[in-house]
Structure 1
């Protein structure tokens, strides 16, 4: 009885590894900037709309009237915690996606320009979009900018913790 011969496998020639295009990094960073700009626009408009929300508008929802901003009563400060959370998310997204510390400046500058533009713009009737008697809007402007500032400060101080 003969033993079967063992056949040694001949290694196949290795195919050359194709390097990815070096420009993908720049394309992805640019996409991150564009997405953070679009997200900042949407988030800022939602924050501005919620800064004028009143108790009467919310109670009208329960009575079947969907004119939320037509109601009366006291202002609801819902825009303030939403601003803190949304601006933290915008700052995190921009700095993580773009991968540079300067990236936080994109949503911060855009958010500030939009909010201050809304505070200084008059309607056709002569009213300001965000009036000086709207305490929610004033606190939202302060807290929103401070949120970006605190995030930037923590980013600056992070390398000191590692050393």
Structure 2
């Protein structure tokens, strides 16, 4: 029995289940990125007034930058689109804008000091830089199933 050389072998059969599974996993990744954007925004709001020895430490700024980098990367990798960076950025920005507004009782979630300002500026700039970097990146190779 002779075996055909590799250049004459037929391609493997296409698996019909791969495409729906891929789409489902991408949608799930986008949903996780969306929820994670909201969760990290709330975490940063909780860390903003953190003091050590009576002094503001600003750990929320570091968390905002690092978390937004990871969330942007995660969204783009799981969804497979450059514009997926919007998924975690949208709830993050909405929560930060809502937190900066005074309630009818006079409460403000995002304190008006250097930490609150830097959380908003650094966090939003991180999303902007990640989006800009994704725009400048070369097109990824297309995946065929």
- TM superposition score normalised by structure 2: 0.80
Choose from 58, 67, 76 the match for 1:86.
Answer: 67
Structure 1 unaligned spans of 5+: 1-7, 9-15, 57-72
1:40 to 31, 37, 42: 37
* CA distance in 2: counterparts of 1:138 and 1:123, whole angstroms: 22
Larger CA deviation: 146-155 vs 47-56: 47-56
Higher relative contact order (CA 8 A, sep 6+): 2
Task: Report which of the two structures shows the higher radius of gyration computed on alpha carbons.
Answer: 1
TM-score, normalised with respect to structure 1: 0.71
Which structure 2 residue ranges, 5 or more long, are not aligned?
A: 2-11, 140-145
RMSD: 2.2
CA distance in 1, matches of 2:76, 2:32: 12
Q: How do 1:2-151 residues align onto structure 2 when only pairs under 5 Å count?
A: 19-21=15-17, 22-56=19-53, 73-122=54-103, 124=105, 126-132=106-112, 134-151=113-130
